[in-house]
Amino acid sequence: MANTSSEFAMKIIDKGIMKGKEDMIENEIAIMRLCRHPNIIRLVEEFETLENIYLVLELVRGGDLFDAITESVRYDESVASSLIQDLASPIAYLHARNIVHRDVKPENCLLERHPNGKLQIKLADFGLAMEVTKPIFQVCGTPTYVAPEILVEGGGNGYGLEVDNWAVGVIAYILLCGFPPFRSPNRDQNQLFDIIVRGEYEFISPYWDDISQGAMDLIRQLLVINPKKRLTADGVLNHAWIRSGGQFKGPNLQRQVTMELARANLRSQQKIQQNV
């Protein structure tokens, strides 16, 4: 890399730990090389030694999507709408190229904070991303955000791009109340997966009493069990609630959402990944 005063982030991949999964690393690098979008973290350069692979990445200093909420003074529907638009845009870009991310979640949505106060999402971590050329049957993702078709016993008919759109729906729900739509009272993963497969959720009072019908309509169209009937990322961008820029601001949700995020402790989740 040329001498520069610019700062970058570095992702270091231990070859020993990833032995047997070299194709995943090659896939991640190939996809990141291809992507040029303002809402996708940019791969600047990559190089390797005998022990490690180094990915030099665009440096994003604003934390992740959870940090954006907890550190805001005012957080309302207009902010949530803008964030969902920022998330749907890179997903639409990827899907137009038949690329599925497979791990869309708030921790992978890094935030660039502009001088005018605007927040800009940068989608990161393409470790599970792949080109979709046929139905996928590998079980992977993060429990709270995983789509029902990934969890169907026996693999069902496989899955494709639509799993990312389900995750957008889960994130939209969390952004407006602070906890996920699908929850196991005992934090039991198998019970959680059963609830997801059945698509059982509701807009719980009093948390949703002051949320607009437009926001709830978007979520209803995304959290659809049948992936073929689920709203696409382009559909999200053209939804009335997104196009209006969340003009219905409503109350300041910052305190409520921050408290519920802390209670939900969503950052503690481990990825699920296995071959089936």
Q: What is the 3-state secondary structure (H, E, C) of the chain?
A: CCCCCCCEEEEEEECCCCCCCHHHHHHHHHHHHHCCCCCECCEEEEEECCCEEEEEEECCCCCEHHHHHHCCCCCCHHHHHHHHHHHHHHHHHHHHCCEECCCCCHHHEEEEECCCCCEEEEECCCCCCEECCCCECCEEECHHHCCHHHHCHHHCCCECCHHHHHHHHHHHHHHHHCCCCCCCCCCCHHHHHHHHHHCCCCCCCCCCCCCCHHHHHHHHHHCCCCHHHCCCHHHHHCCHHHHCCCCCCCCCCHHHHHHHHHHHCHHHCCCEEECC
Please report the pLDDT score of residue 267 as a whole number.
Answer: 64
Residues 75-118: tens digit of each pLDDT: 889 989 999 999 999 999 999 999 999 999 999 999 988 888 78
114 shares its domain with 208: yes
Does 1 reside within a domain? no
Q: Tokens 């016993």: give the residue.
A: 153
d(CA 21, CA 26): 9
Phi, psi of 163 (to 5 degrees): -65, -30
CATH classification of the domain holding 131: 1.10.510.10
Rounded mean pLDDT of 219-234?
Answer: 97
* The predicted structure's pLDDT at residue 275: 41
CA 42 – CA 274 distance, rounded (Å): 28
Same domain for 85 and 21: no
Q: 103 catalytic, yes or no?
A: yes
What are residue 136's DSSP bridge partners?
A: 159
Say whether both 202 and 121 belong to one domain: yes
* Mean pLDDT score across all residues of the chain: 88
Tell me how far apart the alpha carbons of residues 172 and 93 are, in angstroms, rounded to a whole number.
19
Domain assignment of residue 2, yes or no: no
Same domain, 183 and 253: yes
Does residue 273 have a pLDDT over 60? no
Same domain, residue pair 263 and 198: yes
Give the domain extent around 53. Answer: 8-58
- Give pLDDT tens digits for 123-160: 999 999 999 999 999 999 899 999 999 998 656 789 99
Instruction: Determine the pLDDT at residue 153.
Output: 63
CATH for 38: 3.30.200.20
Q: What percent of the chain has pLDDT over 70?
A: 92
The encoded tokens of residue 243 equal: 């196009």
Per this entry, what is the length of the chain? 276
In the chain, the amino acid numbered 84 is I
Mean pLDDT, rounded, for 269-274: 60
Q: What is the dihedral of CA 102, 108, 113, 117, to 10 degrees?
A: 70
pLDDT of amino acid 154: 57
Inside any domain, residue 3: no
Please give the residue that has the higher pLDDT: either 253 or 226: 226
Handedness of CA 246, 148, 128, 258 (dihedral sign): positive
Vertex 30, ends 273 and 42: CA angle to 5°? Answer: 95
Checking if the pLDDT of 276 tops 50, the result is no
Q: How many structural domains is the chain composed of?
A: 2
The answer on 70 and 161 residing in a single domain is yes
Asked if residue 18 and residue 108 are part of one domain, the reply reads no
Per annotation, catalytic residue among 64, 76, 86, 103:
103
Q: Which residues pair with 14 in a beta bridge?
A: 52
Domain identity same for 125 and 163? yes
pLDDT in tens, 190-201: 999 999 999 999
